[in-house]
Amino acid sequence: MLCSSCQKREASSHFISIGGVKKAANLCEACFELATRALGATDRNARCDYCGGQHCSGGTDFLALIAGIKKTQHLCVPCSTEYNRFIQEHMLNEDPNLSPQEQIADLRKLKDTVDVHMKEWASKKSSQ
């Protein structure tokens, strides 16, 4: 099979992330290397999802993944700290008797709740 990018060299299957969405791509080694370099530059230039500051961490947004959405998340140190504090507080108050289906439903709600909280928190932080 030919590379889907250059159409010149033999391709092998790779998984790459484009815009936070993982896709299968049939790329040759040279095109795969170019694509991963470009994606690395995009990640280096990413800003915090909530306040727009310099991000310190990035990776799969696991709460979004539970909701069926494949995306990456970038957070600065203060937003990462608050994001994790908020989730931990919620998880400590979780009913231990929930079924697995109820736990997943609760985590899906948490994704929306934490997003709203973080946008409000970042807005207050920037106005101080």
Q: Do 65 and 98 reside in the same domain of the chain?
A: yes
Report the C-alpha gap between 23 and 60 in whole angstroms: 14
> CB–CB of 26/11 below 8 Å?
yes
Domain count, the chain: 2
> CB–CB of 43/22 below 8 Å?
no
Identify the domain containing residue 84 by its residue range: 57-127
Q: Do 34 and 63 reside in the same domain of the chain?
A: no
Q: Is residue 51 in some structural domain?
A: no
Q: Is residue 19 in some structural domain?
A: yes
Q: Do 67 and 101 reside in the same domain of the chain?
A: yes
What percent of the chain shows pLDDT beyond 90?
21
Q: Do 81 and 120 reside in the same domain of the chain?
A: yes
Q: Do 34 and 85 reside in the same domain of the chain?
A: no
pLDDT tens column, 48-105: 999 998 877 777 788 888 877 778 888 888 999 999 999 999 988 888 899 988 988 8
